[in-house]
Structure 1
Amino acid sequence: MSQRKMLQFSTGALLLLLPWFGGLVLGEVSSDFSQCLDFFYNKTPPQGITDVGYQPICQRYRNQYRFASLYHRQHREPLYSAYILSPADGKRPNVSWMYEPQLAFSRASPEMKPFHTPLDQNVIESQAMLRDYRNSNFTKGHLNPSMHQKTIEDREATFTLTNIVPQRAGSNSGPWNRLENEMLRKFNAFCEGPMYVITGAMSYESGDHWINNRVSIPEYMWSAYCCPSYKPNLPESARPFFPTYAAVGRNDPNSGEEIVPVDVKARASVRGYDVRRMTLETLEGILRQRLAMPVSLFRGQCQ
């Protein structure tokens, strides 16, 4: 297909989405990640995700790009957030939750903003609201966790609902939290360069599940990292984890066990929220089957 025809096709696809977009979107909420490619290995976002319902967001806070998210407008949640891991130099910040103005108005500020009431109806329709999570029995699950970000500003920037999915408390504070801490330990012990992380959510295969009839509930969480530069002479126990590794975690204790088996010996409070570690290739195979798209997370498999 010629470049001109591709441009015509892309523009036509965007125009079909105007009821969701609220206008042709420019700036930080755009048709690609061109303003924030540094958050992806080899400056290449995941390939093969072709659904026009996904909206790239270069997450901007205090006049600086902090990470990237691919947002699904209809589901009102991100498919994934991509970031460079950098261990926090302080505690979890006490900051107001924020939203993305440009999801509602193309000419709005490119900076994420704190929630204030009343909000314009276009904002409410374009993305998740804090009230969606009230009395829902779900926590606000970070895809880019604040403790994977070094500075206070970077940590504050993770508190936007465009980086959040409905996550069960048993997962969020249990096995998934342990996985996030495990990634930090591997980075500190063995990674000699940047560690590129992509963390996402996987919808139910049997049909969408919702909170407040607005925000899609994921059946699983998933994450993968790429550390292209790591210490030579890795100990035998660490070699399977480099340069890439991945995991899938259960967000529903009643799900089947084809993807993540249940540890029947786990404590009752976290049983059913198990996390299965796996190779990058295995995770990509699962995503390809569930999304029906030829997903490739890291260019050249991070080699």
Structure 2
Amino acid sequence: MLQLSTGALFLLLLWFGGLVLGEISNDFSQCLDFFYNKTPPKGISAAGYQPICQRYKNQYRFASLYHRQHRTPLYSAYILSPADGKRPRATWMYEPQVSDHYFRMSQRKMLQFSTASLFLLLPWIGGPVIAEIDSNFSKCLKFFYEETPPQGISISGYQPICQRYKNKYRFASLYNCQHRAPLYSAYTLSSGDGKRPIIPWMYEPQLVSRQARPDMQPFPSKNQMDRDVVTTQAVVEDYKNSDYTKGHLNPSMHHKTKDDRESTFTLTNIVPQREGSNCGPWRELENEVLRKFKAYCKGPMYVITGVMPYNSAPRWINNRVSVPEYMWSAYCCRSYSTSLPESEKPFFPTYAAVGRNDPNSGEEIVPVNVNAKASVRGYDVRGMSLETLEGILRTRLRMPVSLFKGQCQ
């Protein structure tokens, strides 16, 4: 074995992996002494990893960059010193601050495990994005035509969520935890009756921990908010003073029961949407889809509504939540009236639309009606065939997207 001086630094690289949460702070500011020139490795996205200054008996001992989902470090950094004595027979320890809900920042010490008292830290701790249904929509396939989610969309970086409320699955969403916004929500439309519910906004506990309760929950007060909730998903504070409304992908008006309508008020179903779109042409589209369902659809209508990000650099609210450039929606109604008026035949069994969410975007996808009133000008919606929408999505998302199995034929 080779002996190295006390000034030598070791960086043990272990395993690289997906999305992770931040911990006590966003950097190694309290333990920079373990890095050469007090500079941690460059080029590793801090958004993906959790710095830990490893503290024992009231002293920092080394530094680790930890991957919470896989429960292993990416690396540890330390200063080597000549060994003195045998390998200690110490009890294994864990890092309390990884589970912030139970151990607050004032507790900067490692705790020992004993065989007589092993803590199982269940709700609110653990990794980011392991939704209740693991890596697919297996528990809520009924919201997709022929129980088949959209094909061709790489779910790397996305988390499937079976949206559960009051012990029942209500719809499905594909969520991007880095952008803190859904790519799409899928649901079956039913004739809405009743008013828009007044209900607190909710969040998805299982984006915080696999072991958390499966039902969406109302946000706690700001001073009681768990830091891992804030890290994994959008919160109400993100939208304050943002010039954007909370835009439903699955709108409450498309559901019959009060519980189904309430279930749409989770921020994992919400994207930043301009008021001119949300309260203008996009709302008109939602009303028109509901009208066609009531008038002509004789069976279930499967709806998928989603977003297109900017082709250029991402846009954000509060430097946390991704803003879409366009909204899109498509439906599949395989069983419909045999006596459709000629004017309605292009709308069955499928139809689609794209709406502008930025009045300054180009007109290559959705032209602007210059004669529209000022409050909605630039937020036009363009109706189109399912094939046309899929072509646009393939170009913008760079994925071979197919929304409905067999084109709903």
1:4 is matched with none
Q: Once structures 1 and 2 are overlaid, which stretch shifts more, 238-247 or 82-91? A: 82-91
5+ residue gaps in structure 2? 1-14, 22-47, 49-68, 70-125
Q: 2:247 is matched with which residue: 105, 125, 141?
A: 141
Number of equivalenced pairs: 291
> What SS does the corresponding residue of 1:136 show, helix, strand or coil?
coil
Between Structure 1 and Structure 2, the one with more helix by share is: 1
Provide the C-alpha distance between the structure 1 equivalents of 2:396 and 2:275, rounded to a whole number of angstroms.
24
5+ residue gaps in structure 1? 1-11
Identity across the alignment (%): 70
Deviations along 1:257-284, one digit per CA (max 9) or x if unpaired, are 0000000111111000000000000000
1:187 is matched with 293
Provide the C-alpha distance between the structure 2 equivalents of 1:162 and 1:189, rounded to a whole number of angstroms.
31
Q: Once structures 1 and 2 are overlaid, which stretch shifts more, 101-110 or 175-184? A: 101-110
1:83 aligns to 2:187 (yes or no):
yes
2:40 is matched with none
1:3 is matched with none
Provide the C-alpha distance between the structure 1 equivalents of 2:202 and 2:18, rounded to a whole number of angstroms.
28
- Report which structure shows greater RCO (CA 8 Å, sep ≥6): 1
Provide the C-alpha distance between the structure 2 equivalents of 1:233 and 1:152, rounded to a whole number of angstroms.
32
Partner AA of 1:89 in structure 2: D
Partner AA of 1:196 in structure 2: Y
The answer to whether the Cα contact below 8 Å between 1:144 and 1:199 also exists between their aligned partners in 2 is yes
* Cα separation, partners in 2 of 1:128 and 1:231, compared to 1, 3 Å: same
Q: 1:216 is matched with which residue: 302, 318, 322?
A: 322
For residue 26 of structure 1, report the CA deviation from its aligned partner: 5.4
1:241 aligns to 2:324 (yes or no):
no
The answer to whether the Cα contact below 8 Å between 1:41 and 1:302 also exists between their aligned partners in 2 is yes
> What SS does the corresponding residue of 1:281 show, helix, strand or coil?
helix
Provide the C-alpha distance between the structure 1 equivalents of 2:128 and 2:318, rounded to a whole number of angstroms.
28
The answer to whether the Cα contact below 8 Å between 2:129 and 2:159 also exists between their aligned partners in 1 is no
TM-score under structure 2 length normalisation:
0.69
1:165 is matched with 271
Provide the C-alpha distance between the structure 2 equivalents of 1:30 and 1:107, rounded to a whole number of angstroms.
12
Q: 2:388 is matched with which residue: 259, 276, 282?
A: 282
> What SS does the corresponding residue of 2:146 show, helix, strand or coil?
helix
> What SS does the corresponding residue of 1:16 show, helix, strand or coil?
coil
2:19 is matched with 17
2:358 is matched with 252
For residue 24 of structure 1, report the CA deviation from its aligned partner: 7.6
Question: Which consecutive aligned stretches of 4+ in structure 1 deviate over 4 angstroms post-superposition?
Answer: 18-22, 24-27
The answer to whether the Cα contact below 8 Å between 2:152 and 2:402 also exists between their aligned partners in 1 is yes
For residue 233 of structure 1, report the CA deviation from its aligned partner: 2.8
1:60 is matched with 164
1:123 is matched with 229
Which is greater in Rg? 2
Partner AA of 1:72 in structure 2: N
RMSD in angstroms over aligned alpha carbons?
1.5
TM-score under structure 1 length normalisation:
0.93
